[in-house]
Amino acid sequence: MKFKPLAIFLIISSFFLTCILSIWKIMSTLQGLNFTSLNITAVFLIGLLLSLAFVLIGNKINHLIKIFLLSFIFSILYFNLNETSPHWYIFGVFLLTLFYTNKLKKYSMQSLKEDFISEKIIFDFITLFGIVFFAFVILFPFYIMLVTSFKTQIALLVNPLDFSLDFTKSLTELFKSYFVIFETYNFGRYILISAAVSIGTVIVTLLFAIPAAYAVARLNFFGKNFLSTSILIIYMFPAIVLVIPLYTLFSQLGLRNSIFGLLIVYTATTLPVAIYMLQGYFKSIPKEIEDAGIIDGQNWFGIILKIIIPLSLPAIASVALYVFMIAWNEFLFSLMFLDSPKSFTLSRAIQYLSGDAETPRQYLMAGSVIVTVPVLLIFIYFEKYLVSGLTAGSVKE
Amino acid sequence: MSNSLSKLEKRTAYTLVLPAVLLVFAIVLFPIFANVWISFKDIELKDIRIPEPRAKKIVKSISENQSELKIIYKLRNSSLIQDIRNVQFQDKFPKDISPINLDPRCNFQSKKVMCNFGNWQAKYRENFEIVVKNNNGEIIDKKIIKSQKPILTGKSDNPLLTTNFTLENFKKVFYENNFVELLLTTFYFTFFGTVGAIIFGILAAQLVNQNIQGRTYMRGILLFPYVGPVVALAYTWTLLLDPNSGTLNALLVNFNIIEQPINLLGQKYITMSILGFEFKLRLALTTVIFFEIWRYFPLAFLFILARLQAIPQSLYEAAEVDGASPIQKFIHITLPQITAIISILFMIRFIWNFNKFEDIFLLTGGASGTRTLPINVYQQGFAISDIGMGSAVSIVIVMLLLSFMVIYFRLIGKRANEV
């Protein structure tokens, strides 16, 4: 009987259990439950007992019965240890414990004798812990953004920890922030402008990038190598050094506060990435297919339109989505070029809203939800295309 | 035959490439050179509008006599600081309508009134009047008169194009502006932001690369901070970290982890004592770096994951047979496979973090010790309205960037090609 692996197993597993139960407690606190202590030591100790019982029982009883039984006992102990809490909270503890004990399935006194078991335990639990950690750290701000938009400033000042939604209120009350920002702050218009600029940028970028990428991928001309290296270098150059000259130039040309001016800048800054991504894909198309087109008497326009574009639709889709995302999220140029609320994009409008200290935070968050949701939906729906776009266009933001 | 074909090919190539090249040149390359020009000029935000002569036309009827009208032009110089030379005025009238008692500066020829107003000083204003009558004695339609807009032209200097140069801006950048601290802050932010993002990227990639349930969902979720709009995310974090009623401080106080709320984004230093040693931590800067890591580790993650998935499984199986532990496997198999991609990522992220503007601007606005070079470009150029200074800082950024790139291509460029 090795003592060390057992000790490591007990400590790490109950540490993990303590972590997930603490997160559950924090999330419940944000629903208005009045907890004032995480009770880490106590939870850790009964966690130790749970893990010990788990390995001691081993395979003597059916796994399913075992985890139900252990989780039930654990929940009762937990309930007695803690401040008064509603049943749904304890039920959550029970489910989490069930999930946790199920993860312990492969551990028994027998398996603790394997080679390198200590390291394997550490790796397994770091993995579990990592998943919980990353998921929590990433999703928590998004969660706060969403729930804040349904609260009121006063309610949050009274109790900044109560994010529970009052479903007894009417829907118009619940979505009040959204109604306000559409009616008072004109967000409908900003959505249209943002959509127009982003979609416009995608179209214009593709119009310029597809022919250029085709030439770089297929044709021989003087300065081709220079061009492809300078593409790489140009998109390392940051927007912040372009801002002052473009601002002065656009002021003198009267292009500030115009959607057209914004569109030109977005197109020019995304073009290098777009060309880079597309030419890589065009090179992978077999040349024989084009030769057939040349024999049929097609000129370059026909070849691009009838052969290249249909064959590279996935690549074009990922470039389009990537460019759309950049244009939709862009903030620096819209901050510099737009001062009139008539021509604000969504990002600029939210920043403008925040400039007024009086603006209640739920309006700010409602605006943030509105600007975030389309991008996340597009991302989730087209993840496959976007991920390949991100990987290829990585060098650019 | 083949010669003419290659000529045709060249011509086609240039037609295809040229529009894109010209656009990128105008919007990306030209400004970089323009920065050099502006950085040597003493020029402010208010100087960049070219002065224009302007006129507002008001049409008034003269009582009783409806065949005559008085037209008032409110003339002005749009600039408050610059003169306009040789202002020319022109307005057109319908047939049969002619001016009476025309100003001596003007003359009437073929239905047009043309005036030479000479030089206008800055802030110049004048109410200029013309009385017109209809030669037929009929009523004049006011709307027709009103719809005709006068044309004004004049010459003025574009302050951007004059040839007065000065070294003042660069002197100010290096000597008056706490340049060393600015540079250090920028480097802290860049270095720790980059390293942090890569470390978290490796951890996350290592996680997702294992056989766990729902790993595609996990990959999607991990990319959320990177694809979300920076404005929304920065404001959410500001709310979360707010000392008065922010969620994080409220939680920490509630669970008695801290006694007083901490102003994570508004406090420059915090004194920490570890093992009896007291040291000061740049609090706001650290918070901003954490936001930066949170937002950009997904990119590192994505790349490292792609590399990890390309490592042949047989390597790990062979190690397994040899009895290697998980740590040995990571150090001897995984790590060597990802060093190349990490060095590329380091350089790319380093350059991009070095130029990061939005994140810091939205979180702190550059206050509490978070002023980096890009923030300084904005502050000089737009908050203090000193365009020349802003450009000079931009030039410093470009110079530093170029030297990073040279170092990069010298050191790792060759290796990068092997990937």
Identify whether A252 is part of a domain: yes
From CA A348, how far away is CA A333, in angstroms rounded?
9
Q: Looking at chain B from residue 90 to 119, which residues have their Cβ under 8 Å from any Cβ of chain A?
A: none
From CA A225, how far away is CA A239, in angstroms rounded?
25
* ipTM for the predicted complex: 0.91
Tokens of A171: 């829907």
Q: Domain containing A118: what range?
A: 3-148
CA of B183 vs chain A CAs: smallest distance (Å): 16
Nearest to A36 among B231, B256, B326 (CB): B256
| Same domain for A131 and A33 | yes
Q: Which residues of B touch A397 (CB under 8 A)?
A: 352
Per-residue pLDDT of chain A (397 residues; tens, 9 = 90+): 567 888 888 899 999 999 999 999 999 888 888 888 888 888 899 899 988 888 888 778 888 888 888 888 888 888 887 777 788 888 999 999 998 888 888 887 777 777 777 888 888 888 888 889 999 999 999 999 999 999 888 888 888 888 888 777 788 888 888 998 999 888 999 999 999 999 999 999 999 999 999 998 888 888 888 887 787 777 777 888 899 999 988 888 888 888 999 999 999 989 988 998 888 888 888 888 877 777 777 777 888 888 888 888 888 998 999 899 999 999 999 999 998 888 899 999 999 998 887 788 889 999 999 999 999 999 888 887 777 766 665 544 3
Q: Which residues of B touch A147 (CB under 8 A)?
A: none
Identify whether A170 is part of a domain: no
From CA B74, how far away is CA A114, in angstroms rounded?
95
| Same domain for A354 and A257 | yes
Verify whether the Cβ–Cβ distance B48 to A119 is below 8 Å. Answer: no
Nearest to A347 among B28, B229, B323 (CB): B229
DSSP annotation string for B102-123: --TTEEEETTEEEEEEEEE-TT
- Which pLDDT value is given to residue A397? 39
Mean pLDDT of chain B: 85
Q: Are A17 and A95 in contact (CB under 8 A)?
A: no
Closest-CA residue of B relative to A384 is: B220
| Same domain for A52 and A110 | yes
CA of B93 vs chain A CAs: smallest distance (Å): 29
Backbone conformation region of residue B77, classed left if phi is above 0, alpha if psi is from -120 to 50, else beta? beta
- Which pLDDT value is given to residue B2? 55
B interface test, pick of A244, A271, A326, A388 with most B CB neighbours within 10 Å: A244
| CATH class assigned to B51-155 | mainly beta
From CA B194, how far away is CA B289, in angstroms rounded?
9
Which residues, 6 or more positions from B213, have their beta carbon under 8 angstroms from its beta carbon?
none
CA of A239 vs chain B CAs: smallest distance (Å): 8
Q: Report in angstroms the alpha-carbon separations of B175 from B7, B40, B224, B269.
A: 56, 16, 42, 25
Q: Give me the mean pLDDT over the B139-145 stretch.
A: 80
| Same domain for A315 and A242 | yes
CATH 1.10.3720.10 residue ranges in chain B? Answer: 170-418
Identify whether A167 is part of a domain: no
| Same domain for A129 and A266 | no
Nearest to B227 among A214, A325, A350 (CB): A325
Identify whether A162 is part of a domain: no
Identify whether A161 is part of a domain: no
CA of A254 vs chain B CAs: smallest distance (Å): 10
CA of B120 vs chain A CAs: smallest distance (Å): 20
Q: Are A258 and A330 in contact (CB under 8 A)?
A: no
From CA B318, how far away is CA B349, in angstroms rounded?
35
| Same domain for A214 and A119 | no
Q: How many domains does chain A have?
A: 2
Q: Which residues of A touch B251 (CB under 8 A)?
A: 26, 29-30, 161
Task: Give the dihedral sign, CA B206/B207/B208/B213.
Answer: positive
Q: Looking at chain B from residue 344 to 373, which residues have their Cβ under 8 Å from any Cβ of chain A?
A: 348, 351-352, 354-355, 357-358, 362
Homologous superfamily, domain B170-418: MetI-like (1.10.3720.10)
Residue B419: pLDDT band (50, 70, 90) is very low
| Same domain for A200 and A100 | no
Q: CB-based burial of residue B277 (10 Å sphere; 0-12 exposed, 13-18 middle, 19+ buried)?
A: exposed
Q: Report in angstroms the alpha-carbon separations of B243 from A157, B265, B369, B383.
A: 12, 9, 18, 26
| Same domain for A184 and A48 | no
| Same domain for A131 and A19 | yes
Q: Are A320 and A385 in contact (CB under 8 A)?
A: no
Q: Would you call A303 helix, strand, or coil by DSSP?
A: helix
Q: Looking at chain B from residue 243 to 272, which residues have their Cβ under 8 Å from any Cβ of chain A?
A: 245-247, 250-251, 254-256
Q: Which residues of A touch B221 (CB under 8 A)?
A: 134-135, 138-139
- Which pLDDT value is given to residue B86? 86
Verify whether the Cβ–Cβ distance A142 to B236 is below 8 Å. Answer: yes
Q: How far is CA B322 from the centre of its chain?
A: 55
DSSP annotation string for A26-46: HHHHTBT-------HHHHHHH
- DSSP letter at B44 equals -
Q: Which residues of A touch B226 (CB under 8 A)?
A: 390
- DSSP letter at B27 equals I
Q: Are B395 and B401 in contact (CB under 8 A)?
A: no
Verify whether the Cβ–Cβ distance B27 to A265 is below 8 Å. Answer: yes
- Closest residue by Cα to residue A371 from A150, A146, A164: A146
Q: Looking at chain B from residue 179 to 218, which residues have their Cβ under 8 Å from any Cβ of chain A?
A: 203-204, 206-207, 210, 212, 218
Nearest to A138 among B23, B221, B239 (CB): B221
Nearest to A142 among B16, B20, B224 (CB): B224
Size of interface A-B (CB pairs under 8 A): 283
Identify whether A174 is part of a domain: no
User: Per this entry, what is the length of chain A?
Assistant: 397
| Same domain for A209 and A338 | yes
CA of B118 vs chain A CAs: smallest distance (Å): 24
Better pLDDT: A397 or B278: B278
DSSP annotation string for B210-279: S--TTHHHHHHHHTHHHHS-HHHHHHHHHHHH-TTT-HHHHHHHHTTS-SS---TTT-SEEEEEETTEEE
Q: Which residues of B touch A233 (CB under 8 A)?
A: 405
Can you name the residues that pair with B68 across neighbouring β-strands?
A: B133
Last residue of a domain, one of A130, A148, A166: A148
- Which pLDDT value is given to residue B366? 87
Identify whether A267 is part of a domain: yes
Q: Which residues of B touch A271 (CB under 8 A)?
A: 20, 23-24
Q: Is the pLDDT of residue B88 over 80?
A: yes
First and final C-alpha spacing in chain B: 41
- Which pLDDT value is given to residue A390? 67
Q: Give me the mean pLDDT over the B11-28 stretch.
A: 87
The highest-confidence range among A139-148, A156-165, B60-69, B160-169, by mean pLDDT, is A139-148
Tokens of B147: 């719809």
For A42, what's the count of Cα atoms within 13 Å in the CB-facing half-sphere?
A: 12
| CATH number for A245 | 1.10.3720.10
Verify whether the Cβ–Cβ distance B348 to A376 is below 8 Å. Answer: no
Q: Are A156 and B246 in contact (CB under 8 A)?
A: no
Q: Name the phi and psi angles at B129, rounded to 5.
A: -120, 145
Verify whether the Cβ–Cβ distance B27 to A214 is below 8 Å. Answer: no
Last residue of a domain, one of A126, A148, A170: A148
Which residues, 6 or more positions from A206, have their beta carbon under 8 angstroms from its beta carbon?
A274, A316, A319, A320, A323
Q: Using one digit for the tens of pLDDT, what is the confidence trace for B378-408? A: 999 888 888 889 999 999 999 998 888 888 7
Which residues, 6 or more positions from A311, have their beta carbon under 8 angstroms from its beta carbon?
A285, A289
Q: Would you call A356 helix, strand, or coil by DSSP?
A: coil
Nearest to A127 among B212, B231, B401 (CB): B212
From CA A357, how far away is CA A361, in angstroms rounded?
9
Map B193-211 to HEC letters: HHHHHHHHHHHHHHHHCCC
CA of A265 vs chain B CAs: smallest distance (Å): 6
- Which pLDDT value is given to residue B160? 74
Tokens of B369: 């010790």
Nearest to A156 among B212, B225, B245 (CB): B245
CA of B105 vs chain A CAs: smallest distance (Å): 30
Verify whether the Cβ–Cβ distance A237 to B397 is below 8 Å. Answer: no
Verify whether the Cβ–Cβ distance B21 to A144 is below 8 Å. Answer: no
CA of B350 vs chain A CAs: smallest distance (Å): 11
Identify whether A168 is part of a domain: no
Q: Would you call A155 helix, strand, or coil by DSSP?
A: helix
Nearest to B405 among A156, A212, A236 (CB): A236
Task: Specify the residue for token string 């102990």.
Answer: A77
Q: Which residues of B touch A208 (CB under 8 A)?
A: 19-20, 23
| Same domain for A227 and A78 | no
| Same domain for A212 and A135 | no
Last residue of a domain, one of A148, A164, A188: A148
Verify whether the Cβ–Cβ distance B381 to A123 is below 8 Å. Answer: no
- Which pLDDT value is given to residue B77? 83
A interface test, pick of B247, B320, B396 with most A CB neighbours within 10 Å: B247
> CB of B300 within 8 Å of any CB in chain A?
no
Residue B321: pLDDT band (50, 70, 90) is confident
CATH 2.60.40.290 residue ranges in chain B? Answer: 51-155
